[in-house]
């Protein structure tokens, strides 16, 4: 497999078919993400040159605790129990939506790359979406089963160590350090197998167990090329991802500057500045992350296609005749 050809072809595909960027953003929903914001109207004490953290406590913690006691203490069960249930239902709905979008995004990147490779360019959103939907439940169940299996294995491994740590007053927890070091490369291997299993399911119309077996076989039989691609994606994707995340890191600067200030007005202004910066930068970061994710998905799909491509007939070298004239 020509790695350079795979990397350049993946870029050409997502650049010519920018609709795949949207599926890259959707795919990111199922792989993790984050964000947040908030405000605080608490009255910090800035007298005598004290900063919010000068007393060693988090600013507003006492007031927050009192407010929570007032809310839950003055309200009856009929008031706050429905609020808690409603919040949990909202979280469940958001999780379901993210899982749905993440699954569709992952399938769309695979199917879009395959369609581009077979000459169905330029791609449209509806075309990729409709081509992805028949695989939704299979891909969803595949990743759900693998996720539950991994979670169960981690739980089985962790519980004894936690119990030993509690019994030894935390000394036994030191044994977890080598385990964590071992889990890092192991998780990378499992992730590569999952990637190839997902591609196999979509490309070769396989069932769940057959896709897992196929992904494992492709990785086992092509250990060298797979390892090189994984290393390139890990290092290159990590560097690009870090660069993309730099604007979000810069948002923290005004917050820290505000906490170091002795002026409540300055603190409020810097908090507002941080919020404005976050609102401006977040769409850009999401878009760039979607492009990166679409490129990575395309690379993994092309890797599978190149490694599983059948050798054309008639490519064997001709036998050399003994009486061949030089």
103 is a domain residue: yes
- 47 found inside a domain: no
Q: Is residue 56 part of a domain?
A: yes
Q: Give the model's pLDDT for residue 266.
A: 66
pLDDT at 275: 78
The model's pTM: 0.73
Would you say residue 175 has pLDDT above 70? no
**pLDDT score at 176:** 67
302 closest CA partner among 232, 212, 206, 213: 232
| Residue 268 pLDDT exceeds 90 | no
Burial class (CB in 10 A: 0-12, 13-18, 19+), 87: exposed
pLDDT-derived band at 302, boundaries 50, 70, 90:
very high
- The alpha carbon of 189 is separated from its chain's Cα centroid by a whole number of angstroms, namely 16
Going by pLDDT thresholds of 50, 70 and 90, the confidence category of residue 205 is: confident
Q: Which domain range does residue 103 map to? A: 3-34+52-134+222-307
Q: Does 43 score more than 50 pLDDT?
A: no
For residue 203 the two structure tokens come to 């490309």
Q: Could you tell me the CA-to-CA distances from 268 to 10, 46, 59, 251, 277 in Å, in that order?
A: 46, 13, 14, 14, 14
The Cα 311–Cα 39 span in angstroms is 62
Instruction: Please check whether residue 165 lies inside any domain of the structure.
Output: no
Q: Is residue 277 part of a domain?
A: yes
- Let me know if residue 240 belongs to a domain: yes
Mean pLDDT on 193-206: 90
Residue 91 lies in a domain: yes
Structural domains counted in the chain: 1
Report yes or no on 201 lying in a domain.
Answer: no
Instruction: Check residue 198 and give its pLDDT.
Output: 92
Q: What is the pLDDT of residues 61-83, one digit of tens each?
A: 555 455 555 555 555 555 667 77
């Amino acid at each position: 497999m020509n790695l350079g050809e795979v990397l350049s072809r993946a870029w050409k595909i997502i650049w010519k078919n920018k609709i795949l960027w949207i599926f890259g953003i959707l795919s990111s929903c199922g792989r993790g993400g984050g964000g947040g914001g908030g405000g605080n109207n608490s009255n910090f004490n800035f007298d005598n040159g004290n900063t919010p953290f000068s007393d060693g406590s988090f600013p507003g913690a006492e007031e927050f605790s009192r407010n929570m006691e007032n809310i839950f203490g003055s309200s009856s069960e009929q008031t706050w129990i429905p609020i808690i249930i409603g919040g949990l239902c909202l979280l469940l709905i958001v999780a379901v939506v993210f899982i749905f979008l993440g699954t569709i995004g992952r399938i769309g990147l695979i199917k879009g790359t395959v369609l581009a490779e077979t000459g169905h360019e330029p791609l449209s959103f509806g075309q990729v979406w409709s081509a992805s939907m028949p695989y939704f439940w299979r891909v969803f169940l595949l990743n759900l089963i693998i996720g539950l299996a991994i979670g169960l294995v981690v739980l089985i491994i962790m519980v004894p160590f936690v119990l030993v740590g509690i019994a030894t007053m935390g000394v036994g927890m030191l044994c977890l350090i080598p385990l964590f070091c071992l889990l890092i490369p192991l998780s990378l291997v499992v992730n590569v197998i999952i990637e190839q299993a997902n591609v196999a399911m979509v490309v070769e119309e396989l069932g769940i167990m057959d896709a897992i077996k196929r992904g494992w076989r492709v990785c086992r039989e092509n250990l060298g090329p797979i390892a090189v691609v994984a290393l390139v994606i890990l290092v290159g994707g990590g560097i690009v991802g870090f660069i993309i995340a730099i604007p979000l890191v810069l948002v923290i600067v005004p917050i820290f500057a505000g906490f170091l200030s002795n002026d409540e007005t300055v603190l409020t202004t810097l908090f507002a500045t941080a919020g404005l910066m976050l609102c401006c930068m977040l769409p850009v970061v999401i878009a760039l992350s979607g492009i990166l994710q679409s490129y990575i998905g395309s690379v993994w799909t092309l890797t599978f296609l190149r490694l599983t491509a059948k050798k054309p007939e008639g490519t064997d070298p001709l036998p050399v005749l003994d009486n061949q004239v030089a």
